[in-house]
Amino acid sequence: MPESPVLTVSDLHVRLGSTHVVNGAGFSLAAGRTLALLGESGSGKSVTARTIMGLIRPPHGRVTAGTVLLHGQDLLAMPEERRRALRSTTISMVFQDALSALNPVLSVGYQIAELFRAHRGMSRAEARRAAVDVLGQVRIPAAARRAGDYPHQFSGGMRQRVGIALAIALRPDVIIADEPTTALDVTVQAQILRLLGDIQREHGTALLLITHDMGVVADMADRVAVMYAGRVVEQATAAEVFARPRHPYSEALLGAIPRPHLRGRELAVISGAPPDLSVPDEGCRFRTRCRYRIEDCERNPPEHDLGGGRSTACHEWEKVGSA
């Protein structure tokens, strides 16, 4: 890989109860770049993100294997106290639904100021000024006045700006954004994505963008990691995936995008259903829905390194995307 990675996830396995939600996920994120973690609901992308942040904890879930290297240090092997100190200062997260992600009974200014008080040791007054400043950075009008308002007094878009303010306040090196625009109106989605992109460029932050939206990937991502059944099945630059996917699932996802010139025809769907992850399976998880299926698919395909940071987990990758 040409650029040095700031965040590297390798062979991550996570169980929620008896379900193996993440099964050997791995990808890396370069400093200042955007990696889209792409997949359908239940593919394990959110759980992967929350595992990186340390939000998956017993008794609800358990990390059974893998490493998460942030600046070369394994977060999963770190004592909790050191890990806590890294949250928000080095790695932070924007949640999907800002309304439920913000505390309803504390003012937004207070909730941002808490970061400066906890990590920078600021006084109440200093922290409050810093919070107003951050609200200004995410372009909330009349930030000084609105800092005293509560989450329910903001519109959806403004609320997600507050969510972004929380994530950028301490200038972390990595921001994880878990479907940050899914809960928003289409018109507001673009504004929020632009804001995230602008901030990322200004601060040189690396962005791990979790999404199921191909349009978002095309707009924002430098690289893409496609997840299926808890595993990253393809990694490539965004341009490469759109030009020629090397995994049948990526190809199927691209095929499912509605296109203007196909107007009036039935929308393409991926036939079949996602696998039941509580049942162990030695084979490729996508084989039941795959049109390239061969006998080898009964054993899980290894990751083929295609060079230039590109990889795919498919026995038949050479045939994929040639159509």
- Return residues touching another protein (CB under 8 A): 50, 53-55, 84-89, 92-93, 95, 97, 100-107, 114-115, 118-119, 150, 152-153, 166
CB of 135 to another protein, least distance (A): 16
For the bound state, the minimum distance from the C-beta of residue 169 to another protein, rounded and expressed in Å, comes to 9
Q: Phi and psi dihedrals of 155, rounded to 5? A: -75, 165
Helices marked H in the chain — which ranges? 45-53, 80-86, 98-101, 108-120, 124-137, 143-146, 156-168, 186-203, 214-220, 238-243, 248-255
Rounded Cα distance between 121 and 15, Å, is 37
CB of residue 47 vs another protein: minimum separation in angstroms?
12
Is the bond into 59 cis (omega within 30 degrees of 0)?
yes
How far apart, in Å, are the Cα atoms of 83 and each of 29, 77, 161, 246, 248?
A: 19, 9, 26, 36, 38
Closer Cβ to another protein, 170 or 313, answer by number: 170
* Closer residue to another protein, CB minimum distance, 103 or 271: 103
Nearest to 242 by CA among 221, 264, 268: 221
Quote the least distance from Cβ 15 to another protein, whole Å: 19
Question: Which of residues 106 and 239 has its CB atom nearest to another protein in the complex?
Answer: 106
Q: Which CB sits closer to another protein, 87 or 285?
A: 87
The residue among 119 and 289 lying less far from another protein, judged by its C-beta, is 119
Rounded Cα distance between 281 and 260, Å, is 39
Q: In the bound complex, what is the minimum distance in angstroms from residue 68's beta carbon to another protein?
A: 14
